[in-house]
Structures are given as structure tokens and as C-alpha cells.
Structure 1
């Protein structure tokens, strides 16, 4: 398999092993899988000796999903890092130019392990899903990566009172999706603010005033988890494996730039390029710590690079020939055709 065979990595043989028995035995998978390929660092070309192997794919919905009462969105096997999306869910994510799913349609030929006729047809029609929505979706994912870098810097280098302000901003950013989802929220309110600490170990700390009525428990749990994860991440300061943590930071920095690269390709060329083999020198320099300083922050050169890619994406967005939104009539005709075939399988 080209560059992978050189390292003795036979992914098709791996896929046929007992660890991946579910690919053959699960009723939702088997011959209903139309695409299966590499994910993560092996998909991007940024793998190293200790990289995990991820598989990502698409499977047809069952007739009971399409005509009956069953529902299915995706299959996950955590032991093998395998995620396989239901076709209908995949379409919804592609319509928003979701980066994680766009990647599946942008692999090199040798990176696909399963590709049926319908899988090839989906690849041939991937242009149906590309639009200027990529600016928002890829930009949102890139923003999340940037916040991780900023958060790490704040954890380790800012005074406690400044760290608390940074945590507050991070929590607000983490809740951004929740607030957008409930823009006309009439079930209560939440107010976050900093005041003199009640905790004797702190000078200041974040307080919350919250009042809700008839709020779905799952929505509350999602909101609470978002805040809890940010606080927990900051509280790990001084308790982490430095080398492992630096590795994660550099990985976030690399993915930040990679996301901009992919978005620019979509906007400028109307194509999805997941394998960044032509950009590996730069990406691996970032991945290997080439832009990280001794204090664990990133150099001005890295932020200049980031600003350049942000500017290029803005320019590509203005000049792109892509539509603002996909042509839904064409998308619906394609989806209906595929699902009619799925009903007969």
C-alpha cells in the first residue's frame, strides 16, 4: 500500500483480523459498508511510530431506519478506534462541511480499505456538499484548537488572578454552542462572574448564579460537563507528564494549521485533500515542537504563520466560486437514489 507498505503496515490484513470481527458480523455493517478508510494521523500523513490506527467509514441505513421505527446514527468500537457513520447522518454532517466527515471523502486511493460502487458514487458526488459553510465549520474547529493552546499557556504562566479570568473566558467559550442552540432561551439563566474568593487558597474565583425551570436534564448535564471539563483541565497544572503534555500541545498546534489548509483547498479548488503529503515538512515541524518555546508558549513565528493562514482563508472565502449553501434539490435526489438501493439490500 505505497507509503504504508514501506513501514510494514498492512491495513487490509489488520482489518481482517479478529479484533475487527464486528465489520463482518454486525448486521448494520458487513456488506452495507460503502466506504471504509484511514482516519487520524495515518489519514493526514502525520503519523509516527506510536500513532494509533483509526478507521472511519460509512454504512447504509437499514430499511427499518428508513421506513420503520428504528434509528441509527453511527457505530463505534473504542478498542480499535473505529467509527462508522450511517449514510443519512453522514449526509447531514457533510452538508455543514463538518471537518471530521469531510476527511473521509478526501483520502488518497490507497487509503481506502473498502470502497463499493455506491462508495465511489458518493466520492464522485462529493462536490454536492461543498459550500462556503466550510468557513464556519473549519474555522470553528480551528478556533477550538487555538483555545487549547491559549488555555495551556494560561495554566502554566499566568498569576492566579489572571488565570481565573482566563478560565472564565474559556468556560464562556465552551458554553458558546449551548448559547447559540438556545438563543431564545426561556427556561432560565446562568451568570458567571469573578469575585473575592471564598476558597482560602485563592485570591479570586469564579462564581455562578443559575436559575432554571423545566430544563431537560440532558441539556443541563451537557452545560455542566462543558464547564467541569475546562476547570478540570486547568486544575491539572503541575500534575501532568511534561513530555506527554507538550506532545499534545504541539499536536493541537499542528491540527490548527492543518484545518486551515483543508478549508483553503475546499474554498479555492473545490476539493477535499485529507492526506497533507505536500505540507508534511511544515506540519511535522510543528508536531515535533519546532515552534514551541521553553516556557511552553509558541513563538511569534508560529502566530505569524497562523495569521497568514487566517488571512488566506478569509480571502478564499471572499473569492470562492462555491455557493453559500449546497443545492438541496440535487442532494435530496442523490440521497433518495442511494436509500432506494439500501431498501433492497
Structure 2
């Protein structure tokens, strides 16, 4: 995918979304778990023109495309998701530098306040909640007696996500930092194949992390600092405010 920058404007092939503040490659490529058939997923934050927020109908909050695979959230929606501990949006502000494709000054400011968005309970609930969802998908797929290579690949992918979510969530909960790229990709692949053959093999890992969260004191505060996100969002709104001519 080609990206062309012009100040705060970023134009991507196939669809134009203005005012992209921060965007990068996420998903399996970022985790170090991609294979030759993997899609390249992109995630970003954009700012709606401030004037468009004043009317009867709010502008679209998300733009999702499949060619290329890309999700862009409006700044306010991204902040709400991040403050809730959403693992998918959170990784955007913890990417290695080389995976960012669009960085603006306001995007860098968002990276700078990333730790203020975190809170112990929301991180625990979000990451363990997402991991539990992956386990249920594994159980349901196995119960449906899906066989064959495609089904096994999907199950292995769910298992890898389960393990990653547990590990990353616990790291974030205990240290206040997130390492997006996994330490040992082959270990994750072996785990995925094992669980694809027998979903119950994932349960000890899930129970281990549930117990670890319960007995460990978090490095995170009880509540996120919403004032930091609010101040950033107000700077975004001021930057993109252009009054219409009378």
C-alpha cells in the first residue's frame, strides 16, 4: 500500500481518509507471528474536522476496509476504547518505531500519554476477557466437529491469540508497559498446534493467568487519568477547527 503525506493529511490508495494522526502495522506482523499467507493489518487514529462535530449528524467514527486490511478510529472513539483497556487499540501506541507508517506531532503526543490511559481493573478485565473469548471460540469450533486444514489453522490462530493476550495483559498489569512483539514465536506456534488438536490444553494457561492476576499487585492505578486524554482531544479539536465562512 502506498502512503503519501502532506502535512496533517494522509492519502491512502483505494480510499481517502483525511487528518490521520497515527497509523501503523499491527496484528500478526507486529507480534512476529506472521506467515507467508498472513494479511498485513493496519490500525490508525484520525481526527474528524471539528466543525463537522457540531451538526445534527455526527461524522463516521470508524473506517474499516479489507483491501487493504485497515481500521481507522476517530480520535474520540479511540480514546474511549483505550481508556476501557481495549487490547486491539492499545497496541497502536506501543509499536516498535519501524512499524509506524504515519506519525504526526499529535500522534506523538498520544504515544507520550499512553501510560495515563491505563488502569488495573480495566486492563485485567479486557485482556482476560478477550483471552476467554478466544477459548470459547476454540471450544465451539471443536464442538462443531470442524475438520480439515482451514479449520485447524483458525483454531491455532485463536490459541496463539489467547496465549498472547494473557502474556501481554499480565505484562501491562504488572509493569505498566507493553511489548508488542512476542519473545519466542515458535513457542506460540507449538502452543497453537497443540490447542488446535485439543482445546482443553489451553485451559491450564488461562487458569494460570487468572490466578496470577488475582495474586499480583498491579503497577497501574485503579482508574485511568481521563484528564490527559481529554486535554489531548481538546488540542486535536482546536487544531482541526476551521470555521465555515459566513
TM tier relative to shorter chain:
0.7 to 0.9
CA contact (8 A) 1:139 1:260 kept: yes
Q: 1:46 aligns with which of 33, 38, 44?
A: 33
Alignment of 1:43-192 (within 5 A): 43-69=30-56, 70-132=58-120, 133-156=122-145
Q: Structure 1 residue 307 and structure 2 residue 207: aligned?
A: yes
3-state secondary structure, aligned to 1:50:
coil
| Rg larger in structure | 1
**Corresponding residue for 1:159?**
none
Alpha-carbon distance in 2 for matches of 1:120, 1:325:
23
Aligned residue-pair number: 236
Question: 5+ residue gaps in structure 1?
Answer: 1-13, 157-236
Alpha-carbon distance in 2 for matches of 1:109, 1:16:
17
**Corresponding residue for 1:272?**
178
TM-score when normalising by structure 2:
0.86
Q: 1:326 aligns with which of 206, 209, 224?
A: 224
- State the 1:74 CA deviation: 0.9
CA contact (8 A) 2:2 2:13 kept: no
Residues 314, 280 of structure 1: alpha-carbon distance in 2 compared, 3 angstrom cutoff? farther
Structure 1 residues 107-152: Cα deviation after superposition (integer angstroms, max 9, x where no partner): 1111101111111110011111111211111121111101011112
Alignment of 1:196-275 (within 5 A): 237=146, 242-275=148-181
Alpha-carbon distance in 1 for matches of 2:45, 2:35:
26
3-state secondary structure, aligned to 2:240:
helix
Alpha-carbon distance in 2 for matches of 1:98, 1:251:
19
CA contact (8 A) 2:135 2:199 kept: no
- State the 1:22 CA deviation: 5.4
Question: 5+ residue gaps in structure 2?
Answer: 5-9
Alpha-carbon distance in 2 for matches of 1:99, 1:15:
27
TM-score when normalising by structure 1:
0.63
3-state secondary structure, aligned to 1:312:
helix
Structure 1 residues 24-83: Cα deviation after superposition (integer angstroms, max 9, x where no partner): 786642xx1111100221121100111111111111121233333432211122221111
CA contact (8 A) 2:128 2:166 kept: yes
Structure 1 residues 181-215: Cα deviation after superposition (integer angstroms, max 9, x where no partner): xxxxxxxxxxxxxxxxxxxxxxxxxxxxxxxxxxx
CA contact (8 A) 1:94 1:102 kept: yes
Q: Structure 1 residue 33 and structure 2 residue 20: aligned?
A: yes
CA contact (8 A) 1:44 1:274 kept: yes
3-state secondary structure, aligned to 2:35:
coil
